Amino acid sequence: MQLPQRVFLGALVVPMLLASVGTVFRPATEIEPGHLVFAVRSSEIVLAGTAGTAAERQEVVDAVRVLTASYRITDMITPNAGERMPVSSGVVSGLLGVVLDQGVTEFTGVVHKGHLTASARVADPERAGALSDALRAAAPDLRVDEDFTSD
């Protein structure tokens, strides 16, 4: 390789490599919170979204596993170095615990940018109110919007 080609490659490739490494090794305070979707469908709990590391993802899955042995857990959380979980594993297990304690078998929750959007099918309006109150108590730092339907 001739000197001009080396200089050109060095001027182009090295900054690109350094920039990509810089995004992977950013301090945690600079990493943006991602999103989390959790759903309860009869006997299955589905988890999806983004986590900063595989360990962070596993922490959430383990926290949900501790809640129940009777539900199949489907994990579709993707580790992404540019994003972290929007809430802690404790908040995730608290929210899902509320849903399971209320006996809700059709529930979807999306956490993104400090906001929980929840939809569920509940037995009656009283249970809808109890679920709404319990979700707000389980995650007081999140703004909660819900769309509950009763049978």
What is the tens place of the pLDDT at every residue in 103-137? 898 999 999 999 999 999 999 999 999 999 999 99
Q: Cα 89 to chain center, whole Å?
A: 9
pLDDT one-digit tens code per residue, 18-61: 444 444 455 555 678 899 999 999 899 999 999 999 999 999 99
Q: What is the pLDDT of residue 88?
A: 94
Q: What is the pLDDT of residue 105?
A: 86
Give the class (CATH, top level) of 31-150: alpha beta
pLDDT one-digit tens code per residue, 81-112: 889 999 999 999 999 999 999 989 899 999 99
- pTM, two decimals, is 0.77
Measure Cα distances from 150 to 91, 102, 141 in Å: 26, 14, 27
In the predicted model, is pLDDT for residue 63 greater than 80? Answer: yes
Tell which residue, 80, 131, 128, 89, has the closest CA to residue 111: 89
E strand or H helix at 100: helix 89-101
Tell which residue, 131, 50, 114, 113, has the closest CA to residue 84: 50
d(CA 121, CA 43): 15
Q: How many CB atoms lie within 10 A of CB 148?
A: 17
Q: In the structure, what pLDDT confidence band is assigned to residue 1 with cuts at 50, 70 and 90? A: low
